[in-house]
């Protein structure tokens, strides 16, 4: 599974509740969100990842979801063009931070290309890219063009989807050959390289898992995924994600890893 040594995260802004959401779970409580975020950072560190914590950016309520403005592959960062207009400006600060750390390229493709990192699922040598409300055909084409240069061994497949925000909101890989899917995530594509385990609807949120080195982060309160995760990993870290869930956020969105 993926080996990571570094991560960037951003402290949730006090303005978090003003961010975008499709959930009807109430407003997030910022103090609790920050506690949950601190636990997330501690979990990454406990798995051997060096974490840089960026200050909160009050101008952008969704800016703690750092996964969306960039995609990192083979030590190169691709700065995306978020489909959500209120999030487009988040790329500026992330670009500056990443430039000091690695080569950085722009998505390109003009104003019409849209891509958010939450739609990019790396699964072994395969990259599945959600064609969602936030990521379009041109964005996927541009990502594929960059990856041909950066990681020619990887194949890119577009995955049209409905029902959830991003591809990774509704499907991630517990192992490269084991996908977990929230039934709310409607996908026509088939993935012959893996077994797809569809969770019961009430546990759908737990389809977003984050394998890191020898362990895996999972959302707390979803026993089926906890059992599955323990079958595959020695270290399973369960994190309370309640406040991020209210804002359509999940485990993967809170970090950029490389």
User: Which residues are designated catalytic?
Assistant: 166, 253
Binding status of residue 20 toward ligand CIR by CB under 6 A: yes
Radius of gyration of the chain (CA): 17
Binding status of residue 253 toward ligand CIR by CB under 6 A: yes
User: Pattern of binders to ligand CIR over 48-77, x per CB under 6 A?
Assistant: --------------x--x-xx---------
CB 257 within 8 A of CB 49: yes
Q: Rounded to an integer, what distance in angstroms lies between the CA atom of residue 88 and that of residue 39?
A: 28
Binding status of residue 118 toward ligand CIR by CB under 6 A: yes
| CA neighbor of 141 nearest in space, from 151, 128, 156, 152 | 156
Shortest distance (Å) from residue 118 CB to ligand CIR: 2
7: number of CA atoms within 13 Å, CB side?
31
- The SS3 of residue 112 is coil
Is the Cβ of residue 19 or residue 204 nearer to ligand CIR in the bound state? 19
Shortest distance (Å) from residue 134 CB to ligand CIR: 7
Q: Rounded to an integer, what distance in angstroms lies between the CA atom of residue 211 and that of residue 237?
A: 10
Binding segment for ligand CIR (CB under 6 A), chosen from 71-79, 153-161, 198-206, 246-254, is 246-254
Q: Rounded to an integer, what distance in angstroms lies between the CA atom of residue 51 and that of residue 40?
A: 10
Q: Which residues bind ligand CIR (CB under 6 A)?
A: 19-21, 62, 65, 67-68, 84, 87, 117-118, 165-166, 168-169, 247-250, 253
């Amino acid at each position: 599974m993926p080996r990571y040594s570094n991560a960037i995260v951003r402290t949730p802004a006090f303005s978090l509740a003003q961010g975008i959401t499709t959930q009807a779970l109430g407003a997030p409580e910022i103090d609790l969100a920050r506690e949950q975020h601190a636990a997330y950072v501690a979990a990454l560190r406990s798995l051997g990842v060096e974490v840089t914590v960026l200050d909160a950016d009050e101008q952008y309520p969704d800016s703690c979801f750092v996964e969306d403005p960039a995609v990192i592959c083979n030590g190169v960062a691709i700065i995306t063009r978020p489909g959500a207009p209120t999030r487009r400006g988040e790329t500026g600060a992330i670009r500056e931070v990443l430039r000091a750390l690695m080569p950085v390229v722009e998505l390109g493709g003009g104003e019409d290309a849209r891509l958010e990192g939450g739609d990019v699922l790396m699964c072994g040598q395969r990259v599945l890219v959600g064609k969602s409300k936030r990521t379009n055909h041109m964005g996927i084409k541009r990502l594929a063009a960059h990856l041909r240069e950066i990681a020619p061994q990887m194949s890119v497949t577009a995955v049209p989807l409905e029902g959830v925000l991003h591809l990774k909101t509704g499907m991630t890989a517990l192992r490269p050959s084991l996908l977990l899917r929230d039934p709310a995530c409607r996908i026509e594509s088939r993935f012959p390289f893996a077994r797809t385990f569809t969770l019961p609807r009430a546990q759908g949120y737990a389809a977003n898992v984050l394998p890191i080195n020898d362990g895996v982060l999972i959302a707390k309160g979803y026993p089926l995924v906890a059992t599955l995760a323990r079958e595959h990993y020695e270290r399973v870290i369960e994190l309370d994600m309640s406040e991020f869930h209210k804002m359509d956020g999940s485990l993967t969105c809170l970090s950029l890893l490389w």
